[in-house]
Structure 1
């Protein structure tokens, strides 16, 4: 919100929209919809080094965390991730602060090429003070289904690392909520990609 010299208040229509449609929400009804968040980054490093940072993300320092949107919203920040086995059936535990943990099971694996995994967050593991109920992952409104890393060779010393995920929304205004969910998911993914890039290129 901003005020000019005449004390007039301007509020973004994006923020006001839920209030405008709230009287008709009960007539719409909740329905689940699946969305995709896609991101990528170009990295100048050898593929073995890149892939090592994909499968196993060592502890992330505060100054490495560049998730401006999620930090502004108070969303849990990433801490680390560890894959116990490089192959189908491998278990990857992605740890965020505030008690958020993603339990990831590898469903497709191609060494230094592609990894797809299911994602599950158990709401009962997340402290009630960590998130608003509308954005609790695995809750009644918002859930993340799966994720995929894919490494593409661009030239002799540059690779493009793709990261995309599918998430589900169950609200009375998915078309609006999906904008925020997409921004949040892409912010999380871009943050992780930047960390992988920085570490791979540094080595």
Structure 2
């Protein structure tokens, strides 16, 4: 089924279509339970467990044969296992209450193939927003300086974010230069990823809004799975805004991130994106806090005498 849904038939049969992402794991769960029920009758818990396990093997198998990358597999496993459990329960009910389970299963085999031929492979998508804030014990001038010049980022400074834990390359640097048309931030990440952030609006030490710009070579081949490629067909980062507000004892730094998901299952992709990008935003804000506070902290002086 994964070989059929490879996107090579004039844009039809894409792996990110509803007919594959939902119906394929349903079918895998059903087939696994059908085979098991041919030998011994099992309970409902067994049906759900077999359906879920079969889909875990299914997703790991696509990684083993090079059909999918690690990031896609990690993201897909919870969804596939859940739908597979439903498929297992459905097949268990069919085996118990219908006289012709094999013929019913054949009908379900044809369903993703039939729907894949008519489904729109280019869903409109939706724009989502993540907002986070943090209090920093440093003045706005120091926080602003950190936002404008971030270099030599160590892996241990950002590795608490799940986006980086599951394989997204970590940021290395983000250095800003001023041009006649505004600020330009050059961002570099691991595996050769590089892109620009253009300021659409900014006020020194108060506010800056970045619009992402990706060139054709910004994400080298193999740096990210195609299905989660930044600036790709299914996912894109749009804007990131930072607002600095003076507070007693320091600065409140707020971050707003807008992103796009364009899948046939945004009901799963959008909340997952909010969770992953929300955690990433919190990690980045904590990173800015540590650096700003370290720079602002007065150096210790030895005692007199």
Q: Same fold (TM over 0.5)?
A: yes
**CA distance in structure 2 between the partners assigned to 1:112 and 1:88 by the alignment:** 19
**CA distance in structure 2 between the partners assigned to 1:93 and 1:39 by the alignment:** 23
User: Structure 2 vs 1, CA of residues 134 and 159 (structure 1 numbering), >3 Å: closer, same or farther?
Assistant: same
The counterpart of 1:165, out of the listed 230, 253, 257, is: 257
Partner of 2:176: 83
Partner of 2:245: 152
Q: Does 1:113 align with 2:206?
A: yes
Structure of greater relative contact order (alpha carbons < 8 Å, 6+ residues apart) = 1
Q: Does 1:140 align with 2:207?
A: no
Structure with greater strand share of residues? 1
RMSD: 2.8
- For 1:177-192, list aligned pairs within 5 A: 177-192=269-284
After TM superposition, the structure 1 stretch with the greater mean CA deviation from structure 2, 67-76 or 8-17, is: 8-17
TM-score by length of structure 1 reads 0.84
Structure 2: runs of 5+ lacking an equivalent? 1-45, 54-76, 88-110, 296-305
The counterpart of 1:197, out of the listed 280, 289, 296, is: 289
Structure with greater helix share of residues? 2
Give the superposition deviation at 1:83. Answer: 0.7
User: Structure 2 vs 1, CA of residues 116 and 126 (structure 1 numbering), >3 Å: closer, same or farther?
Assistant: same
Give the superposition deviation at 1:63. Answer: 2.3
Whether the 8 Å contact between 1:123 and 1:138 is mirrored in structure 2 is no
Partner of 1:16: 81
Superposed CA offset, 1:106-155 (max 9, x none): 11111110001211233543222111111100111001111100011221
TM-score by length of structure 2 reads 0.58
Superposed CA offset, 1:178-197 (max 9, x none): 12222222233222211110
Give the superposition deviation at 1:17. Answer: 5.0
Whether the 8 Å contact between 1:86 and 1:111 is mirrored in structure 2 is no
Task: Tell me how many residue pairs correspond in the alignment.
Answer: 197
**CA distance in structure 1 between the partners assigned to 2:215 and 2:266 by the alignment:** 22
Partner of 1:31: 124
- For 1:96-107, list aligned pairs within 5 A: 96-107=189-200
User: Structure 2 vs 1, CA of residues 142 and 73 (structure 1 numbering), >3 Å: closer, same or farther?
Assistant: same
- Which structure has the larger Rg over C-alpha atoms? 2
**CA distance in structure 1 between the partners assigned to 2:82 and 2:120 by the alignment:** 15
Structure 1: runs of 5+ lacking an equivalent? 1-6
